[in-house]
Amino acid sequence: MGFKILVTEPIAQAGIDVFEQHGSRVDVRLGASPEELAEVIGGYDALIVRSATKVTKQLIDAAPRLKIVGRAGVGVDNIDIDAASEAGVLVCNAPESNLVSAAEHTMALMMAAARKIPQASARMKEGAWERTPFVGRELYDKTLAIFGLGRIGGLVAKRAAAFGMHLIGYDPYCHQDRADSLGVDLVADMDEVLARADFVTVHLPRTAETLGMFGRDEFQMLKPGAIVVNTSRGGIYDIDALADALRDGQVAACGIDVWEEEPCYTSPLHELPNAVITPHLGAATIEAQTRAGVQIAEYVSAGLEGSIVPTSINMAPVPPEVFDLLGPYTPAVQALAHLLAQISPDVPRKITVTAAGTIANADLTVLVAGALSGFISADEDRVTAVNVDEVAKRHGIKVERTSRIDAEEYASFVEIAADGRRAACTLAGAGQKLRIINLLGYKIDIMPQQHSLIFVYHDGPGRMGTIGTILGDAGISITTMQIGTRADSTNALVYMNVDREVPASVLDRLGRALVLKGLWYIRL
């Protein structure tokens, strides 16, 4: 049975399709009140929102099954991150979905403000033909000050350069190499940046430091007649101070897309003819909405399936190089741990995760989280990568991580040891499928399926015939099989994939017909 996903705001159908391709059931409830959401959220594994739904502590507390909240967009101001973390709920977003759209909207506002396009359009629709009031300014050969040279700021820099603008930047966290690659003159003194700017655009998060960052003093430092734009977050410009600067001509025009309180129906800028204002349209393109829906569906599905979520908000960020190396291993390790947990149901006192070969030098945090999830998930209502360490401590599990360069005949593998029981896996083929290469010390090489049987017995003639007969009588077919041996034992281990669930009565018959050291039915 797949996961249940609740979507409370519109996302692209392509995103819904991704969930369904992963076998999840999607329910869309648009416009539900907080009370209505609290009544139904308890039945869902994941919640998908945009900016309107408030994911409060009360809503999270009403959702015992909830494992992950996905924001189909960038900002997560509407989600109580602390409450989610406390409950072990992962929060992720789709930060790259609207990058191009936001950068293009920045340029659109800059052009509209500089060329007075909205005002001219409005006058023509009133029946007038006037040109003199709408004489504008070129972007060419002007200086654009970019505050914040992150992903969107960098895209704006590239587009502004194509217009022949001179680029200066202010970003204490930007490395000089990045500024150089963008053709931006990085200036550490904010006052100097303001004094040189013909145009200003901000691409900053809303924090205690950036709230009200541009007030009366900053606007007065600009060249007279400068044009300012904001498509990042409301509150970075003091709107009252900006309105005064627009009235007295210190600032010639502005383009504002974001507001301190949204929706915003009135402000000092609403009455000013030289203010171009839009209702937070930075991400409002068909392409951005499709990307946001697809990306958040992929990330949430990965999180539900135990894999890495690269955009998780309440976990340490996963560097791209680590994600590329370990991302495919995470669900494999979780499955391997779940297998060991079925062989020995007791929660282990000590777990050791060892990475070998090409992954030996990677940060193993994500693999440890996957292994712990595999061992503990059956015992806990909700275990995620957010709270897995805390749960491990609560169960008294000691966790160790080791690495080794030698991966024998494999490029890489991961081994899990749990109270002495060991299993190792690698990934194979274009699909990076899990292959078990060692189990309980027996060397094998098999791709596990949903239903499997594991036998350990003293090898001898007729054993496999007996097993085949009993399974055949029950209508159970063997799909693939591997026999493993170990140098220090005369016993053999058989890993057998079968096509359906094995009832307890069949397991009992197998146990009575054979002298077994171990028999386990595994379901992955």
List, in sequence order, every beta strand (DSSP E) within 141-250: 143-147, 166-170, 185-186, 199-202, 226-230
- One DSSP character per residue, 332-401 reads HHHHHHHHHHHHS-SPPSEEEEEEEETTTTS--HHHHHHHHHHHHTTT-S---TTTHHHHHHHTT-EEEE
- Going by C-alpha positions, the residue among 454, 456, 452 that lies closest to residue 476 is 452
Q: Which amino acid is at 459?
A: D
Query: Residue 249's Cα: distance from chain center in Å?
Result: 44
Catalytic option among 65, 137, 280, 486: 280
Catalytic option among 209, 262, 390, 408: 262
Could you confirm whether 123 is annotated as catalytic? no
CA 420 to CA 473: how far, in whole Å?
Answer: 36
Yes or no: say if 352 and 401 are a contact pair by the CB < 8 Å rule: yes
Which residues are CB-contacts of 5 (< 8 A; sequence separation ≥ 6)? Answer: 19, 24, 25, 26, 27, 44, 45, 46, 47, 48, 300
Burial of 469 (0-12, 13-18, 19+ CB in 10 A): exposed
CA 241 to CA 257: how far, in whole Å?
Answer: 17
Side-chain half-sphere exposure of 503, counting CA atoms within 13 A = 9
CA 193 to CA 170: how far, in whole Å?
Answer: 7
Q: Which helix (H) or strand (E) holds 105?
A: helix 99-115
Query: Helices (H) and strands (E) in the chain — how many of each?
Result: 18, 22
Q: Give the three-state DSSP class for 264.
A: coil
Catalytic option among 50, 71, 233, 451: 233
Could you confirm whether 233 is annotated as catalytic? yes
Give me the count of residues in the chain.
Answer: 524
Residues serving a catalytic function are 233, 262, 280
